[in-house]
Structures are given as structure tokens and as C-alpha cells.
Amino acid sequence: MTSPLLLLLIFAISLLTLVKASDFFTNSAEKLGLAMGLPPFIVGVTIVSVGTSLPELLSSLFGIFQGAPEVAVSNVVGSNIANICLVIGTAAIISKRTIRVLYDLVSVDLPLFMGSAFLFTLMAWNQTFSRGEALLLVIGYIMYLFYILKSSNEAASEVLTPQNSSEAEAAPPDGMAIPISAADQMREGLVLVLSGIFIFLGAQYTIDSLIRISEVLNIGREVIAVSAVALGTSLPELIVTINAASKGKAEIAIGNVLGSNIFNIFVVIGIPGLIQPLPVPDAVIIPGLPTLISASLMTFFIAQDNKVTIWEGWLFIIFYAWFIGSVFNLL
């Protein structure tokens, strides 16, 4: 019988491998996409958004394939709570100043962020995600992509007006390929393939070790998924936030959180839910869903004045500590 410490070590290494390989995969895919002439906006809403959420998506899919479908919903709820409380909280604290929230995020992304949280809660309350509900989520995300693509094109057409013709002539075409040597293309292609292999292995061993840890320690799989797995899969967002905050650019954390949470609900639940109906464990119903709604409401009201203060950042961190304590029955 494998010792609990060895299983925890395998779990930690597998999760780290999954997260880091996803980072390499996203960077290489982004470079190759731009080199092929894909517009930066398209690269951003497809390759980058999918890449940063690969850990959540792959761990959820492998949960289904390895007989632990409850991992999918637990992972999304835990990851979204971690994104809100840890990422925004950390950004506000590390930056040591008030974070300004862009108007476009408040007027467009924030309402969708709130709407997706409430829609998710309504669908999950009966403790099952049906294939029909999953299909509705996927269609919703496709409509969202069409909306932001349309908005981006309209904004671009407004900028390229006749009075700005000289600037328009100087600007490179949106679909112009970024030059990259053949050797660099081969290197990035090799990194893409290798990182894809490590993503597969990382996700497989993460879920396998999670199942075995839950059996050895007699802890529910959903408890580990909503806490440890969710925290691990939120590491890319957290690391990006720490780096940005240290450089005085913590504002990107807000947009990163909103986009990631929207993608998690619509796609990371939607795609696995198309494969089979997803059970919603008790640990997700209470305290998961009330915490998700409360954290989302906090974000919505805090962002109304277009800023996040340091003390509000500490409020998010304390709220997350309370959530983890509640999950493990420490409070």
C-alpha cells in the first residue's frame, strides 16, 4: 500500500507539471498563431483563454474518464472562489495601492460574470448538471465570443476613421503575420507537442493520486478537488497577478479573474457535461455555492466605484480562509 506522504508528493508534482506544461503550451501556441497571421484578438480569446484554463478543463475531463465526475463541478467552484478571493486579494495587497478597474470590465464583463455565477448556482442546486444544461452553457460561451468579436470589430472601425487615416496607414494590418524563423517555428512546435504530452500525464496522475489520497485518508474527492486541486489550477492566474502587481500593473488581475471565471462556468462545466451528467457534491452545495455567490457579489459591488482598495483585498483573503476552514470542518 502506497504511503500517504508519497501520494501527496505525487499529487503535488503532477499538479505542478499540469500547470507549468499548460503555461508552455499556451506561450508556444500564441507565438505560432501570431506567426500564421491570426489577429491578436482571436489569439487572445481562443488560444490564450483556453490555455490558461487547461488545468481546470483537463483535470475535469480526466475526473470523468477515471470514474470521479464529482471532481469537475468541485474544481470549478473551488477555482472560481480562489480566483476571486486569492487573485484579486493578492493583487490589491501586493500593489500597495488602490487598483483601478477599467470601465469596459464594469459595463460588459462584470454583469456577465455575475450572471454566469447565478446561472451556475441555479443549475447546480438540484445536484446534477444534465447534458441539456451543459449544451446551454457551451452555446452561451459561443454567443459571448461572437459578441466580443463584434464589439472588437466595431471598436477597430471607429478608430480607423478618415481623420485618422495617416495613423491607419502606419498601423500594420490586423492579420499580418509576425515574422518568425523556420528554426523558431520548429522549436515552438516541438515545445507545443512536448508540453501537450506533459499536460496529459500531469492531468492523469493528478486525478489518479487524488482518488487514492481520498481513499487512504478517508476524505471525499470533492473536498480535495474544491480545495487543493482548485488552488493548484488557479496558480497560473495567481502567479501572473503577483508578477503584474510587483510591476505596478495589478489592474490586469480583475480582467483575468472575470474572463477565467466566465470560461470555467461555460466551458469547463459545459464540455465535460456533454460527455455525461455531472453530479454536484454536498461540499459544493454547502458551503461552495453560497461562498461563490457571496464572493461574486462582493466583487460586483466593490468594483462599482471602479477601484479595489488594500483593505478590500484583505477582506477577500480572510473570506477565502473562512471558506477553506468550512470545507474541512475546522470552523
Contact 264, 77 (CB under 8 A): no
Distance CA 4, CA 11 (A): 10
Please check the confidence at residue 315 and state whether its pLDDT lies above 90: yes
Q: What is the mean pLDDT of residues 294-322?
A: 91
**pLDDT over 70 percentage in the chain:** 81
Residue extents of the structural domains in the chain:
4-155+183-327
Distance CA 103, CA 84 (A): 19
Q: Which amino acid is at 256?
A: N
User: Residue 118: how many CB atoms within 10 A of its CB?
Assistant: 13
Per-residue model confidence as pLDDT tens digits over 126-159: 999 999 999 999 999 998 888 777 766 665 555 4
Dump strand ranges (E) for the chain: 99-100, 128-129, 278-279, 307-308
User: Residue 329: how many CB atoms within 10 A of its CB?
Assistant: 7
Identify the pLDDT of residue 105.
Answer: 65
Q: What is the mean pLDDT of residues 110-131?
A: 92
Residue 226 burial (10 A CB sphere; 0-12, 13-18, 19+)? buried
**pLDDT over 90 percentage in the chain:** 32
Q: In whole numbers, what is the pLDDT of the chain averaged over residues? A: 82
Of 300, 319, 263, 296, nearest in space to 90 by CA? 319
pLDDT band at 313; cut points 50, 70, 90:
very high
Per-residue model confidence as pLDDT tens digits over 166-185: 444 444 454 555 667 878 88
Contact 47, 22 (CB under 8 A): no
CA dihedral 52, 29, 144, 56 (to 10 degrees): -30
Identify the pLDDT of residue 45.
Answer: 55
pLDDT band at 293; cut points 50, 70, 90:
very high
Domain topology for 4-155+183-327: A middle domain of Talin 1 (1.20.1420)
Per-residue model confidence as pLDDT tens digits over 72-103: 999 999 999 999 999 889 888 887 777 776 65
Phi then psi dihedrals of residue 223, to 5 deg: -70, -45
Identify the pLDDT of residue 316.
Answer: 96
**Number of helices and strands (H, E) in the chain?**
19, 4
